[in-house]
């Protein structure tokens, strides 16, 4: 049975393979031709010849119908995990003949679901036909596939012909971002940043002693910023540009991707990293993300794409920046002793492990992966000491 299936598949993808009705007519044509040979009856020759001509038309037409048919794919908009991907394919018929009775199948990667298909009644000459379908998502990731299968039995359904086209697709499913109302571990590390904002504000209100340069006056500039002595000398208003005081470093959300993770726990850590990042952005903090594969990166869209693709135990192309203020998400207790004084940590432990957390006066807490993540990020806070 397997060799027969392989033979029919090979015939269908390279030429055409008979359908059930095609095999029946082929058998009848052979029987009529054999009877005509024995009886020398002309009408039997006519019947066998007519069926043979019908079979030839049924075999050639599907091959011609798929020829020159072009398939393209519109860009797939990224979505968050749990939302639906909207996938749009466009079939173009550049020929002078209508293309009828088509089947199209989008061969998705198995992690996204089963192949999706539909039937198209016809595409007029020099026209395009769109096919739009939605696909539910459950897990973050960057998914790629490229195979489109076209199949037809037009016009008689006696033979099937299918052809594959390579149409690249890339779908990005972002990790879930929890809407945190508060996050003490970020709020505490962000106090230094707020001190910088206050110093910057004071610098902007100052009128002397912090001048960096002078520039021409523009409509709307405050009068208190005019440098009167220089303006009187030059005969034109000059405005002070003040020096901005820098008081703190960037906050870096660090996902310890090179370590060995339980796959389900790692997904929780990715969700936590995305949620902490956007909470810090909402608090107007200068926040970035670190992973072993990319190093320190910024920009919300870049970070979402990196978190969509990151995997545990990836090669450590970049080392952890222990000298920066970090919020380290890790399953590895050994990293905690290397953190700076201004850093915080969140450790994700396997529920089957029951080992105490040992560290030197560094602030952080452990996530219980058997409980909801959002309340733990909003409420739990503590200082663990050795």
Domains of the chain, by residue range, sit at 2-64, 70-174, 211-244, 247-384
Question: Is-contact 29 55, C-beta < 8 A?
Answer: yes
Query: CB neighbours of 337 closer than 8 A, spacing ≥ 6?
Result: 359, 360, 362
Q: What confidence score (pLDDT) does residue 103 get?
A: 95
Q: What confidence score (pLDDT) does residue 151 get?
A: 95
**CATH number, domain 70-174:** 2.60.40.10
Q: What confidence score (pLDDT) does residue 244 get?
A: 43
pTM: 0.75
Q: What confidence score (pLDDT) does residue 248 get?
A: 43
DSSP character for 325?
Answer: -
Q: What share of the chain is helix, strand, coil (3-state, %, to 5)?
A: 35, 30, 35
Using 50 as the pLDDT threshold, list the residues of the chain that sit under it: 1, 192-209, 243-249, 358-362, 383-386
Average pLDDT value for the chain: 83
At CB < 8 A and 24+ separation, what contacts does 325-328 make? 325/189, 325/192, 325/248, 325/249, 325/250, 325/251, 325/252, 326/251, 326/252, 326/253, 326/254, 326/290, 327/185, 327/186, 327/189, 327/251, 327/252, 327/253, 327/254, 327/276, 328/254, 328/256, 328/364
Q: What confidence score (pLDDT) does residue 31 get?
A: 92
Question: Is-contact 94 126, C-beta < 8 A?
Answer: yes
């Amino acid at each position: 049975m397997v060799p027969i299936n392989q033979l029919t598949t090979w015939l269908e993808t390279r030429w055409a393979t008979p359908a059930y009705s095609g095999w029946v007519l082929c058998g009848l044509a052979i029987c009529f031709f054999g009877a005509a040979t024995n009886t020398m009856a002309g009408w039997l020759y006519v019947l066998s010849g007519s069926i043979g001509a019908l079979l030839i038309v049924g075999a050639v037409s599907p091959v011609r119908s798929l020829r020159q048919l072009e398939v393209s794919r519109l860009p797939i908009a990224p979505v968050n995990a749990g939302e639906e991907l909207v996938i749009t394919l466009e079939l173009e018929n550049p020929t002078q003949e209508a293309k009828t009775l088509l089947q199209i199948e989008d061969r998705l990667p198995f992690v996204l679901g089963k192949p999706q298909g539909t039937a198209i009644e016809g595409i007029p000459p020099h026209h395009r036909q769109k096919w739009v379908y939605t696909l539910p998502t459950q897990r973050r990731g960057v998914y790629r596939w490229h195979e489109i299968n076209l199949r037809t039995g037009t016009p008689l359904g006696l033979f099937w012909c299918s052809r594959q086209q390579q149409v690249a697709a890339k779908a990005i499913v972002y990790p879930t971002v929890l809407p945190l109302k508060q996050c003490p571990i970020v709020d505490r590390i962000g106090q230094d940043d707020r001190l910088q904002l206050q110093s910057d504000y004071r610098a902007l209100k100052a009128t002397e002693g912090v001048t960096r340069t002078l520039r021409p006056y523009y409509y709307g500039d405050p009068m208190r910023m005019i440098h009167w002595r220089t303006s009187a000398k030059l005969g034109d208003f000059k405005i002070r540009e003040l020096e901005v005081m820098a008081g703190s470093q960037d906050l870096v959300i660090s996902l310890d991707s090179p370590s060995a993770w339980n796959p389900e726990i790692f997904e929780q850590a990715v969700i936590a990293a995305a949620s902490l990042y956007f909470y810090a952005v909402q608090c107007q903090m200068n926040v970035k993300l670190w992973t072993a594969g990319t190093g320190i990166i910024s920009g919300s869209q870049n970070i979402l794409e990196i978190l969509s693709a990151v995997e545990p135990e990836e090669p450590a192309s970049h080392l952890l920046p222990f000298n920066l203020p970090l919020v380290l998400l890790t399953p590895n207790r050994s990293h905690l002793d290397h953190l700076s004084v201004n850093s915080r940590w969140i450790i994700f432990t396997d529920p089957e492990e029951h080992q105490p957390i040992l560290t030197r006066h560094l602030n952080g807490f452990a996530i219980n992966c058997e409980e909801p993540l959002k309340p733990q990020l909003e409420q739990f806070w503590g200082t663990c000491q050795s």
